[in-house]
Structure formats: C-alpha cells, structure tokens
C-alpha cells in the first residue's frame, strides 16, 4: 500500500518484541525434564550469575519488579504515617507499592533533560515523616545518585532504587545494583532481558536474607529446602509475608538471556545511534540525552515532538505511525493524573509542570535487539515522512 511516495509495509513492527532463541528454549526444556519447576536450583543459579555479572552484594529473584519494591518497603518497616518521596514520571506500580504499605507517596518533579527525579526537589520535600526516597532510573538513564544519596545520608533515610529499566546501566562507572541500596529490576516481556514476568531484588546481604523471608509467606524455609532429600518438612512463619517468588521455569529464561545481554545491549546502542543520526538535527524532534557520567541501558528511546513544528499533536502522530504498521508507546501517563491519585491527593495536571508538559509530547519509539536494520530503516523513513507531511 502506498501513501503518496511513501510505501506502507504489510507487516506490523511491534514496539519491543522479546528476543528469545534456541538457548533459552533448551534451558526451559531442561528444567521441564527435571523434577523441579518452581523456585529451586535454577533460580538460585540465576541469582548467583546475576550477582557475578553486575557485582551485586546479594540478590533475590522475584516475580516482578513491583514485588521487589513492595518487599523492600515492608522489609525496612515503612508503613502507616511514613512518607516516601518519588516521581510522578513512572509506571503506577512505583507509587502503588507505597500505598500498599500504608505510607504516603510524596511526588516531586523531574529534570528537563533526563526526566529523572530532581535532587533539589527531593531536598525541598523532606519532612520529619520522610522514611525513604525512591528514585526511578527512567528509560535506563541512571539518576543523579551521588546527590540523592547525600540527601538520604544527611537525613538518615533509606534509598530504594526502582531499576525496572537500567539493567547493565552505570553511574560514574558503578553498575546499577552493585551498591547496598535495595534495588529492584524488571524482566517483563518488553525489557532488555526477559523472563516473561519476573524481577530481581539486590542489596546488602543481611537485607536480602530478611527480604527473602518477606517474599515467601514469612516462612523460615522455602519449598526446595522442605521437599529436597536433604530438607525437612517443618517450617515456622515468623511474619505475614507475601507470595513473590520466581520459578525455575522463569529463571531458565533468565539464565539464557543474561548470557546474551551484552550482545543485546550492543545492538540497542546501534539502533540508538541510527535514531540519533536521523532525528538529532531535525527541528521536529528533541532526542533523548545520555549524560557524560552515565552509561544508559537504553531501555527506551523517547522522542519528544517540538509542538511548534507540527500541525498534529502527539496522539495523532502515534496514530499515523500505527497506520504505517509501526508500534509505539508512551512512557508514562503521569501518576498524578490517574483518577485514584488525583482524587485522593487533589493533584492537578500542572502540579509537576516538567513532567506533564513533556508527557504531552513524548513517544517511545520501537527499540529491541530483535529489530532488523530493514525495520529501523523503515521506521526512520516513515517518521521523517510524517514530519514533512505535517510540518507547521
């Protein structure tokens, strides 16, 4: 099908397809042929290899990044009457878990370039009820952790890192997750590496030991320790925990993906470079930044439309790309405009102007190690064609 001089391809290009090969399939089949498919030896191997890959002090495999954040708050004893400072520019789960433990989320605005939480806004929001700061490493670009950590240390409060995006990302040479802060990663289907659903919580070994109990019903022993030949059936429930464990089937996928991650990252950077070259000098777009002191994981490539250059808005831009068989997304709908939070706390759209005004013009472009050169060529051609058709 042709649109003027532009020919629309027949096959849809998904926004972020998982890149799963025969190695992962073989690892999963190997698990299915054993007598153990839930949390067991493959999960423990995955935790160990993740620690070795990124220098983490200790790790706990869980069923989602959300679970890791919830476990972190519960393990640290944060609850009713406490406040946790975080960003409105995130997926709702970051803030939902604060509500789950009975604490109050305190939202502060973001920086105009990275769209990460603003350290100065954090400092201004501290009260005697503040118990934690929850920075989100948006799009894979690490937050300004030295400044954030200094604020936390000055006030004696915790830092819990939402690392859903930055697996393999680095801040000033330090890999995200290699410190002692509770840090929660996501392996959701669209992430840089995937276990379909799943996550990893890293941090200080003593903290991870306590978090492990919280993550599985508050039991003193997990099923593997009870049902293995060397185990015993007795266990004690020492607190009312959750059901947040990862299975060996998921971990099998993770083991294969972890071994390929460096190659995946190299491919993502190639695609990012192509996008930068195509869109970087265009008056129609603002491209994402990578500050010199960080190494982004490039989980997302978020274009921001320059509204004055267009006759259409962001929503129509997305629809036009969809009509050309290109999948995109928006990351994220600001938390403060969702009905639950707007009604409970009385938030208005412009309470966080940097967050909201950038949300109105952002589009997450297709980015996956699975995307081919031909697909990227087509995406670039289609996007530039739209710019010419709808220039102001």
User: Can you give the three-state secondary structure of 69-108, one letter per residue?
Assistant: HHHHHHHCCCCCCCEEEECCCCCHHHHHHHHHCCCEEEEC
CATH number for the domain that contains residue 278: 3.90.1150.10
Q: Are residues 295 and 251 in the same domain?
A: no
Question: What pLDDT does residue 220 have?
Answer: 81
Backbone phi, psi, residue 48, to 5°: -65, -45
Q: Are residues 185 and 36 in the same domain?
A: yes
Q: Which DSSP category does 310 fall into?
A: B
Strand (E) or helix (H) holding 66: helix 65-75
Last residue of a domain, one of 258, 274, 292: 258
Rounded CA gap, 17 and 138, in Å? 20
Three-state DSSP class for 161?
A: strand
Rounded CA gap, 159 and 133, in Å? 5
User: What residues act catalytically?
Assistant: 191
Q: Are residues 94 and 215 in the same domain?
A: yes
Higher-scoring residue by pLDDT: 340, 6:
340
Q: Which residues contact 3 (CB under 8 A, 6 or more apart)?
A: 324, 385
Please check whether residue 84 is in contact with residue 106, taking contact to mean a CB–CB distance below 8 angstroms.
yes
pLDDT in tens, 335-375: 999 999 999 999 999 999 999 999 999 999 999 999 999 99
Q: Are residues 252 and 290 in the same domain?
A: no
Three-state DSSP class for 181?
A: coil
Q: Are residues 236 and 286 in the same domain?
A: no
pLDDT in tens, 305-325: 999 999 999 999 999 999 999
Distance of CA 166 to the CA centre of its chain: 7
Please check whether residue 282 is in contact with residue 74, taking contact to mean a CB–CB distance below 8 angstroms.
no
Question: What pLDDT does residue 229 have?
Answer: 66
Please check whether residue 9 is in contact with residue 378, taking contact to mean a CB–CB distance below 8 angstroms.
yes
Burial class (CB in 10 A: 0-12, 13-18, 19+), 179: buried
User: 339 is in which domain, residue-wise?
Assistant: 2-17+261-389
Pairing of strands 199-202, 59-62: antiparallel
Handedness of CA 374, 370, 178, 197 (dihedral sign): positive
Rounded CA gap, 241 and 243, in Å? 7
- Confidence band (pLDDT; 50, 70, 90) for 232? confident
Give the mean model confidence (pLDDT) for residues 35-55.
Answer: 96
Q: Are residues 217 and 344 in the same domain?
A: no
Q: Are residues 111 and 231 in the same domain?
A: yes
Three-state DSSP class for 250?
A: helix
Three-state DSSP class for 116?
A: coil
Q: Whose CA is closest to 349, among 341, 269, 254?
A: 341
pLDDT of residue 87 exceeding 90: yes
Residues of the chain with pLDDT > 90: what percent? 94
- Confidence band (pLDDT; 50, 70, 90) for 121? very high
Give the mean model confidence (pLDDT) for residues 214-231.
Answer: 76
- Confidence band (pLDDT; 50, 70, 90) for 118? very high
Question: What pLDDT does residue 56 have?
Answer: 98
Backbone phi, psi, residue 223, to 5°: -60, -40
Q: Are residues 228 and 199 in the same domain?
A: yes
Last residue of a domain, one of 232, 258, 284: 258
CATH number for the domain that contains residue 118: 3.40.640.10
Give the mean model confidence (pLDDT) for residues 262-282.
Answer: 98
Last residue of a domain, one of 258, 276, 303: 258
Mean pLDDT computed over every residue of the chain: 96
Q: Are residues 140 and 273 in the same domain?
A: no
Give the mean model confidence (pLDDT) for residues 229-247.
Answer: 88
Q: Are residues 42 and 150 in the same domain?
A: yes
- Confidence band (pLDDT; 50, 70, 90) for 2? very low
Question: What pLDDT does residue 55 have?
Answer: 98
| Bridge partners, 60 (sequence order) | 201
Q: Taking the CA atoms of the chain, what radius of gyration do you get in angstroms?
A: 22
pLDDT of residue 1 exceeding 60: no
Q: Are residues 250 and 268 in the same domain?
A: no
Please check whether residue 246 is in contact with residue 195, taking contact to mean a CB–CB distance below 8 angstroms.
yes
Give the mean model confidence (pLDDT) for residues 173-198.
Answer: 98
Q: Are residues 336 and 220 in the same domain?
A: no
Q: Residue 184, preceding bond cis, omega within 30 degrees? A: no
Count of domains observed in the chain: 2
- Confidence band (pLDDT; 50, 70, 90) for 231? confident
- Confidence band (pLDDT; 50, 70, 90) for 228? low
Question: What pLDDT does residue 227 have?
Answer: 59
Rounded CA gap, 316 and 387, in Å? 12
Rounded CA gap, 278 and 273, in Å? 9
Distance of CA 389 to the CA centre of its chain: 34
Q: Which residues contact 56 (CB under 8 A, 6 or more apart)?
A: 50, 177, 178, 183, 202, 203
Terminal-to-terminal C-alpha distance of the chain: 26
């Amino acid at each position: 099908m042709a649109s003027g001089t532009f020919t629309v391809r027949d096959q849809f290009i998904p926004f972020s397809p998982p890149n799963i090969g025969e190695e992962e399939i073989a690892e999963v089949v190997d698990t299915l042929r054993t007598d153990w498919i839930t949390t067991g030896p493959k999960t423990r191997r995955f935790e160990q290899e993740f620690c070795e890959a990124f220098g983490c002090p200790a790790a706990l495999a869980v069923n989602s990044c959300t679970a890791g954040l919830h476990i972190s708050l519960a393990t640290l004893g944060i609850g009713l009457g406490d406040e946790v400072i975080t960003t409105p520019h995130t997926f709702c789960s970051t803030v939902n878990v604060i509500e789950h433990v009975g604490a109050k989320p305190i939202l502060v605005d973001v920086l105009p370039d990275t769209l990460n939480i603003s350290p100065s806004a954090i400092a201004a929001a501290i009260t005697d009820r503040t118990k934690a700061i929850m920075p989100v490493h948006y799009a894979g670009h690490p937050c300004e952790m030295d400044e954030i950590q200094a604020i936390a240390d000055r006030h004696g409060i915790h830092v819990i890192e939402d690392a859903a995006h930055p697996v393999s990302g680095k801040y000033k040479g330090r890999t995200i997750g290699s410190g002692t802060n509770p840090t929660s990663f996501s392996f959701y289907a669209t992430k840089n590496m995937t276990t379909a659903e799943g996550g990893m919580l890293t941090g200080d070994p003593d903290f991870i030991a306590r978090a492990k109990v919280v993550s599985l019903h508050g039991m003193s022993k997990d099923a593997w320790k009870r049902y293995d030949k060397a185990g015993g059936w007795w266990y004690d429930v020492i607190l009312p925990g959750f059901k947040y464990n990862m299975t060996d089937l998921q971990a099998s996928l993770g083991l294969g993906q972890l071994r390929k991650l460096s190659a995946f990252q190299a491919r993502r950077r190639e695609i990012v470079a192509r996008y930068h070259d195509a869109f970087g000098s265009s008056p129609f777009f603002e491209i994402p930044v990578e500050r010199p002191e960080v190494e982004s994981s490039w989980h997302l490539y978020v274009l921001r439309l320059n509204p004055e250059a267009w006759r259409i808005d962001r929503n129509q831009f997305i629809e036009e790309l969809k009509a050309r068989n290109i999948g995109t997304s928006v990351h994220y709908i600001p938390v403060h405009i969702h009905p639950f939070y707007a009604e409970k706390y009385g938030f208005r759209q412009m309470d966080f102007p940097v967050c909201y005004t950038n949300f109105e013009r952002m589009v997450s472009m297709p980015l996956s190690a699975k995307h081919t050169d031909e697909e990227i060529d087509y995406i670039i051609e289609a996007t530039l064609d739209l710019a010419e058709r709808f220039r102001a």
